[in-house]
A and B are shown apart, each in its own frame.
Chain A
Amino acid sequence: MSALSERPADPVVGTAIPHESAALHVTGAALYTDDLVLRTKDVLHAYPVQVLHAHAQVTRLQTEAALQVPGVVRVLTAADVPGVNDAGVKHDEPLFPDEVMFFGHAVCWVLGESLEAARLGAAAVEVDVELLPSLVSVREAIEAGNYQGGQPTLERGNVEADLAAAAHIFSGEFEFAGQEHFYLETHCALALVDENGQVFVQSSTQHPSETQEIVAHVLGLSNSEVTVQCLRMGGGFGGKEMQPHGLAAIAALGARLTGRPVRLRLNRTQDITMTGKRHGFHARWRVGFDEDGCLQALDATLTADGGWSLDLSEPVLARALCHIDNAYWIPAVRVNGRIAKTNKTSQTAFRGFGGPQGMLVIEDILGRCAPLLGQDAAALRHRNLYAAGQTTPYGQPVRHPERLARTWQQILDSSDFAARSEQIAASNDSSPDTKRGLAITPVKFGISFNLTAFNQGGALVHVYKDGSVLINHGGTEMGQGLHTKMLQVAATTLGVPLERVRLAPTRTDKVPNTSATAASSGTDLNGGAIKDACEQIRGRLASVAAERLGVAPSDVRFGGGQVRGLAFASEPVLWEEVVQLAYFQRVQLWAAGYYRTEGLHWDSARMQGEPFKYFAYGVAASEVEVDGFTGAYRVRRVDIVHDVGDSLSPLVDLGQIEGGFVQGVGWLTLEDLRWEEGEGPNRGRLATSSASTYKLPSFSEMPEVFNVTLLTDATEEGAVFGSKAVGEPPLMLAFSVREALRQAAAAFGPAGTSVDLASPATPEAIFWALEQARGSGGAHVEDGAPGTRPEQPAADAPAMQPLSKRVQHVLSDA
């Protein structure tokens, strides 16, 4: 067992405790960024001027009328920016644009004494525009050849030869929708300026360090002059990884120019219409199977709908390519990726970060092809699972594939899969108007940022003279329970009770240069760093205690608030006593911790390497019932076994699995982003831009029976206290619901019916799918070559540029 993964006796990690802020949450006492406004004097409120065209050039911006509105203090425009007028790291996102790139793009901001004054001021701003042609859908962009960023190809083996030799070859096309984050707390920033012109921004951000950098470059300040704090977020899900930066910069700019605190909070409509979402994708593919149904070759071209700027589209695309195999061995692979540039919000990170999109493509392929191969979908999936010794298409060995097999078998047993499948088949035969489906799908998800450099974390741990402990780390809390786990890691490492440890809010002046709390990596990185800091302190205290206890420092043990020697007669001393002793011996009682994930390498140009520390596994079996009259459905039962390594915090992990799963079900079956694609004044408008039109899962979507189990005997040697990341992987367990719906729809037709299912699989989509199964029209998967052919990139297709221009410059000079 590695030093990183080893647990002491009676660890605090591994105990099921509630969220560290639970008592504050339930009483309304927990503070979020916008709750600070009431505690801040003389706050100004910011309101955007959104232009309602999909694409237009601003020809005149007249702000005088706004200044006549009572209570309006100032209008912020591009002319006010002392630094760089850009909200991102790629320098393709003007903060105050002169070209409107999507319906609802904000071109300037009004500051008012009240939100109402700012709103009325914004309504008074006159914006003249010249309309420009727009591309709204990904198909329009593909037809126009309008792409942005790199066009990577992930390739292994000889796809053409293996397809030609395959016993069965199919081809198809699949376009599927993105997803709105709909964190319950919308974006918010509150900026203040101190006596020296330095800026303090409280922001609902998953990436305080980058928020700090963007605020600094917009204001023309150094990073050291900007401090960003995040108390907690009311949900993030990736939506606050990049999107908060520009909003924080607007607030900071307003504070610098007026000398007053500025609050910028988006209302729900603004949040949905202005900020990025999960990427929808378009895919064309060809696939080959052998006689037994084993995958032989996959040729696919994925087009991500990137929206108007790059944002995180390149790494999202890279992760999609790296996950098109999901949990399946595909000997020959050629996957091309490209990013459509469309006149929509700039799509961004969302739980899974492209992984779900890549995996959805292969699961859709298997679901559509299984009936055409004459195979049961569960058997087809099982047959193709990775086995020992196999590697991913990008060359990484698949470690512990036996855990995936074990998880699969555990689900078959615990869900009584075989018997229920038979019952369902029998009841479907006798029930013409209602059909059920039961599907099982796996998840294999790579853990680490694809880009190696981001895999580092920092922490600052203080032990005070009274023995109380204060920890600070670079990760942010958005509900995922990171802080709960970090408290447990610190208490475990120092051997003190949980109550002795307090956690202070995330701030860039405590831990610098942090990575985003993203990629499910928050616990691995920050937990490693906290453990490191605590071990430094514990090592120093061990020397102090050794003298007191009369044992060698290596024989000192910390646990339960006591320090004891391994010697037989040694009486323990209290933790507090050792701390006091250390102080008076002038021993440093605080430490900065650091962690870097070892063993990673990644060549983003060749799309080869070992970018992931390990894989997280899970398997789900879901049963649905579909009403043949309407396409409406219910999720009757879900069984999940998921691999979180040795859980640090079982209640937290269970919550992540259940919540991720239901969020995935929302993406795949319910949540419906509808942009108006027709000509006319509303072209490019998001028609589902409010809670009344964009529907999240509610209680009615919760599985009626929901059994979730953590995989046992699952220690991960490469992560803190043997745990595994949990934030993203469970989302993709929701494929089982989509595939169960497909099977239920197919049951309305004759045996062997292949069903095309739109995504999201809303009741309407399912109705058309079951109508198709009933014989109104054939499925669109084509059997035999050539069928649909994925387009191949041009010889001069641009490469991926994973780093910012400035960083590329620095690195190439070095």
Chain B
Amino acid sequence: MPSPTATVNGQVLSLSGVDLHTTVLDWLRSRGLLGCKEGCAEGECGACSVLVARPGISSPTRWTALNACLLPVLTLDGQELITAEGLGAPDALHPVQREMAVRGGSQCGYCTPGFVCSMAAEFYRPDRVPAEPSETGPAPSDHLHGPNGFDLHALSGNLCRCTGYRPIRDAAFALGAPADDDRIATRRDQPPPPVPGTRVAGGGARFARPAALTEALNLIAEHPGALLVAGSTDWGVDVNLRAARAAFVVAIDRLPELRTFRVDSDAVEIGAALTLSEAEELLDGHVPLLDQLFPQFASRLIRNGATMGGNLGTGSPIGDTAPALLALDASLILASANGEREVLLADYFTGYRRSVRLPGELIRAVRIPLPQPGLVGFSKVAKRRFDDISSVAVAFGLDVEDGVVRRARIGLGGVAATPLRARATEDALTGRPWTAETVRAAADVMAAEGTPLDDHRASARYRSAMLRQALLKFHAQHETPLEVGA
């Protein structure tokens, strides 16, 4: 197997001899690319954002912004990166850099290279198109969407402590389209870099990126203790903040068999290794409940790396996909060297960060059965609207016919050791008229679901109150539901 390399700003650099737990951030800095900054080392601040060439959906390649602090550098074997240094130089600024500089988008400057990379990813988003000027005035825009088609959610994973963000927004909204001869832009029309199989050992640890599913399954059958890594948005935090070190890391995020997407007559199947950003783009409105979820799930920088399989695979009680998928009655396709099996998500979690997934098994896909519930809603309570962890997450999937609740599925996060279904509340709703009276009674039941705790995010009392309130609010928003699916 050839020795691993990565192409950074057009230059091929060797990855030979790197410590297996070295992050892209530390590696870039060791190579003199000091614009990549560590602000938090847990994917919260975006000061280490870099552009990575990934497979695109609306173009062959897409420049994807990722947190360099979370990625083991060996996962970039064969890949292409651009850092702030690669976008422009002080005497030859990139359009993004120029707008940021002249509009006062930098003060202390420490977060700036990361903002520049996240902003450049949105600048180069293939389907970013300026809004059409309206008949009566300029192109419509709001505080989150520029007239140039810039979606500020692209910057939801970048923190600035100095500016208050307004000049950064103005810089983002002032950007035009990439120039015709912009080589970063034209790179999008070429295929993405292929993903080589990678096997590296050193310092008593091993890293492998199998090229195909069977190879991966055989590998984990042989090494059931191996740590499976997809977007590394969870594992990267463990490495950096808790000094976790694994003897064997197996990267599965680029396995083609885990990156499938299908819409059949009876189900939507989402490959477990599709990132949340990819799933969002592929779903394109097919699953309205997930459309509500995605913008509230962490940040764009995290969603660009994190996968749906990873969010479920960690078994975290506060992962936001689980409540939504519970409300959709989703199931998981688990694959092992012995074959596949399908497990209802409602039966999947067994305890805090524990599940029925066996050693040697991985999540291949998530299946959402069709038809979906007619009435859906996702409610997340957190301190901050962008990029925060839920104090309470509630997802509703209801079928209401002739004013009567025929079926109710409610998924909860943050109120127990696992994500769970609010079964008692579902019972209190099912078969009853969708009225304020029913809802008030059911909301009392809902407030007693789970076993919420007091912690730094919220008090147990508030969490219980928010369970109640979530149902009341959902009803207030859908008091007279359309008879969808009827």
Query: Which chain B residue has the least Cβ–Cβ distance from A120?
Result: B243
A700 within 8 A of B: yes
Query: Which chain B residue has the least Cβ–Cβ distance from A698?
Result: B386
Which B residues are CB-close (under 8 A) to A35? 34
CB-contacts of B17-45 with A (<8 A): 19, 29-30, 32-42, 44-45
0/1 per residue, B102-129, Cβ < 8 Å to A?
Answer: 1111111111110010000000000000
Q: Please tell me if the beta carbons of B107 and A481 are within 8 angstroms of each other in the complex.
A: yes
B161 within 8 A of A: yes
Q: Please tell me if the beta carbons of A629 and B159 are within 8 angstroms of each other in the complex.
A: no
- Quick one: which of B41, B156, B165, B466 has the most chain A CB within 10 A? B165
Q: How far is the CB of B68 from chain A (nearest CB, A)?
A: 12
Q: How far is the CB of A630 from chain B (nearest CB, A)?
A: 6
Known contacts: A22-B102, A663-B161, A764-B459. The answer to whether A691 contacts B383 by CB under 8 A is no
Stretch at the interface among B189-197, B221-229, B333-341, B469-477: B469-477
Interface size, A (range): 35 or more
Known contacts: A28-B83, A692-B389. The answer to whether A234 contacts B109 by CB under 8 A is yes
Stretch at the interface among B211-219, B306-314, B450-458: B450-458
Query: Which chain A residue has the least Cβ–Cβ distance from B384?
Result: A695
Query: Which chain A residue has the least Cβ–Cβ distance from B99?
Result: A26
- Quick one: which of B102, B391, B458 has the most chain A CB within 10 A? B102
B133 within 8 A of A: no
Q: Please tell me if the beta carbons of B42 and A690 are within 8 angstroms of each other in the complex.
A: yes
In the assembled complex, the Cα of A30 lies from the Cα of B106 at a distance in Å of: 11
User: Which of A29, A182, A651, A688 interacts with B90 by CB under 8 Å?
Assistant: A29
In the assembled complex, the Cα of A29 lies from the Cα of B29 at a distance in Å of: 12
User: Which of B34, B108, B161 interacts with A232 by CB under 8 Å?
Assistant: B108
Q: Please tell me if the beta carbons of A27 and B84 are within 8 angstroms of each other in the complex.
A: yes
CB-contacts of B76-109 with A (<8 A): 83-85, 87-91, 93, 96-98, 100-109
Q: How far is the CB of A134 from chain B (nearest CB, A)?
A: 19
User: Which of B101, B111, B158, B388 interacts with A23 by CB under 8 Å?
Assistant: B101
Q: Please tell me if the beta carbons of A234 and B384 are within 8 angstroms of each other in the complex.
A: no
In the assembled complex, the Cα of A716 lies from the Cα of B118 at a distance in Å of: 41
Query: Which chain B residue has the least Cβ–Cβ distance from A693?
Result: B456
Q: Please tell me if the beta carbons of A699 and B384 are within 8 angstroms of each other in the complex.
A: no
Q: Please tell me if the beta carbons of A22 and B159 are within 8 angstroms of each other in the complex.
A: no
Q: Please tell me if the beta carbons of A28 and B35 are within 8 angstroms of each other in the complex.
A: yes
Which A residues are CB-close (under 8 A) to B42? 268, 690-692
CB-contacts of A666-716 with B (<8 A): 670, 672, 674, 687-688, 690-693, 695-702, 704-706
What is the interface of chain A mostly: helix, strand, loop, or mixed? Answer: loop
Q: Please tell me if the beta carbons of A655 and B93 are within 8 angstroms of each other in the complex.
A: no
User: Which of A28, A696, A700, A762 interacts with B84 by CB under 8 Å?
Assistant: A28
Q: Please tell me if the beta carbons of A38 and B456 are within 8 angstroms of each other in the complex.
A: no
Which B residues are CB-close (under 8 A) to A706? 164, 166
B449 within 8 A of A: no
User: Which of A182, A481, A629, A763 interacts with B383 by CB under 8 Å?
Assistant: A763
In the assembled complex, the Cα of A17 lies from the Cα of B47 at a distance in Å of: 25
In the assembled complex, the Cα of A28 lies from the Cα of B120 at a distance in Å of: 14
In the assembled complex, the Cα of A487 lies from the Cα of B90 at a distance in Å of: 19
Count of chain A to chain B residue pairs whose CB atoms are closer than 8 Å in the complex: 251
A433 within 8 A of B: yes
B385 within 8 A of A: yes
0/1 per residue, B230-272, Cβ < 8 Å to A?
Answer: 0000000100110100000000000000000000000000000
Q: How far is the CB of B376 from chain A (nearest CB, A)?
A: 18
Which B residues are CB-close (under 8 A) to A186? 39
Query: Which chain A residue has the least Cβ–Cβ distance from B90?
Result: A23
Known contacts: A19-B107, A268-B39, A704-B143. The answer to whether A659 contacts B385 by CB under 8 A is no
Which B residues are CB-close (under 8 A) to A78? none
Query: Which chain B residue has the least Cβ–Cβ distance from A478?
Result: B108
Query: Which chain A residue has the least Cβ–Cβ distance from B454?
Result: A678
Query: Which chain A residue has the least Cβ–Cβ distance from B142?
Result: A704
CB-contacts of A48-73 with B (<8 A): none
Which A residues are CB-close (under 8 A) to B165? 662, 697-699, 702
In the assembled complex, the Cα of A232 lies from the Cα of B381 at a distance in Å of: 38
Q: How far is the CB of B375 from chain A (nearest CB, A)?
A: 17
B294 within 8 A of A: no
Query: Which chain A residue has the least Cβ–Cβ distance from B386?
Result: A700
A176 within 8 A of B: no
Query: Which chain B residue has the least Cβ–Cβ distance from A654?
Result: B104
Which A residues are CB-close (under 8 A) to B465? 767
Which B residues are CB-close (under 8 A) to A269? 241
A1 within 8 A of B: no
Query: Which chain B residue has the least Cβ–Cβ distance from A704?
Result: B143
Q: Please tell me if the beta carbons of A699 and B386 are within 8 angstroms of each other in the complex.
A: yes
Query: Which chain A residue has the least Cβ–Cβ distance from B83?
Result: A28
Which B residues are CB-close (under 8 A) to A764? 383, 391, 458-459, 462
Q: Please tell me if the beta carbons of A28 and B164 are within 8 angstroms of each other in the complex.
A: no
Which A residues are CB-close (under 8 A) to B350? none
A469 within 8 A of B: no
Q: Please tell me if the beta carbons of A28 and B33 are within 8 angstroms of each other in the complex.
A: yes
User: Which of B87, B89, B385 interacts with A700 by CB under 8 Å?
Assistant: B385
- Quick one: which of B32, B36, B111, B163 has the most chain A CB within 10 A? B163
Q: Please tell me if the beta carbons of B381 and A29 are within 8 angstroms of each other in the complex.
A: no
Known contacts: A184-B161, A237-B161, A652-B104. The answer to whether A25 contacts B109 by CB under 8 A is yes
Query: Which chain A residue has the least Cβ–Cβ distance from B44?
Result: A691
Q: Please tell me if the beta carbons of A663 and B164 are within 8 angstroms of each other in the complex.
A: yes
Which B residues are CB-close (under 8 A) to A699? 144, 152, 155-156, 158, 165, 169, 386
0/1 per residue, A109-131, Cβ < 8 Å to B?
Answer: 00000001001000000000000
Query: Which chain A residue has the least Cβ–Cβ distance from B172?
Result: A699
User: Which of A18, A185, A627 interacts with B101 by CB under 8 Å?
Assistant: A18
Which A residues are CB-close (under 8 A) to B87? 27
Q: Please tell me if the beta carbons of A38 and B30 are within 8 angstroms of each other in the complex.
A: yes
Query: Which chain B residue has the least Cβ–Cβ distance from A116?
Result: B19
In the assembled complex, the Cα of A634 lies from the Cα of B142 at a distance in Å of: 14
CB-contacts of A609-646 with B (<8 A): 627, 629-630, 632, 634
Q: Please tell me if the beta carbons of A31 and B34 are within 8 angstroms of each other in the complex.
A: yes
A717 within 8 A of B: no
Query: Which chain A residue has the least Cβ–Cβ distance from B87?
Result: A27
Query: Which chain A residue has the least Cβ–Cβ distance from B385?
Result: A700
Q: Please tell me if the beta carbons of B456 and A687 are within 8 angstroms of each other in the complex.
A: yes
A348 within 8 A of B: no
Q: Please tell me if the beta carbons of B163 and A658 are within 8 angstroms of each other in the complex.
A: yes
User: Which of B39, B161, B164, B459 interacts with A661 by CB under 8 Å?
Assistant: B164
CB-contacts of A357-373 with B (<8 A): none
In the assembled complex, the Cα of A201 lies from the Cα of B100 at a distance in Å of: 32
Residue ranges of B at the interface with A (Cβ–Cβ < 8 Å): 19, 29-30, 32-42, 44-45, 47, 83-85, 87-91, 93, 96-98, 100-113, 116, 142-144, 152, 155-156, 158-167, 169, 237, 240-241, 243, 381-389, 391, 455-459, 462, 465-466, 469-470, 472-473, 476
13 contacts between A and B (CB under 8 A): A22-B100, A22-B101, A26-B84, A183-B161, A184-B160, A185-B110, A479-B107, A479-B109, A629-B469, A688-B456, A692-B237, A698-B386, A699-B156
The 7 closest A-B pairs by CB, nearest first: A28-B35, A479-B108, A234-B110, A25-B109, A691-B44, A662-B164, A479-B107
Given contacts A184-B111, A481-B107, A705-B143, 13 further A-B contacts (CB under 8 A): A23-B90, A28-B116, A38-B30, A183-B110, A184-B161, A233-B108, A234-B108, A268-B40, A655-B104, A691-B39, A692-B40, A692-B42, A699-B386
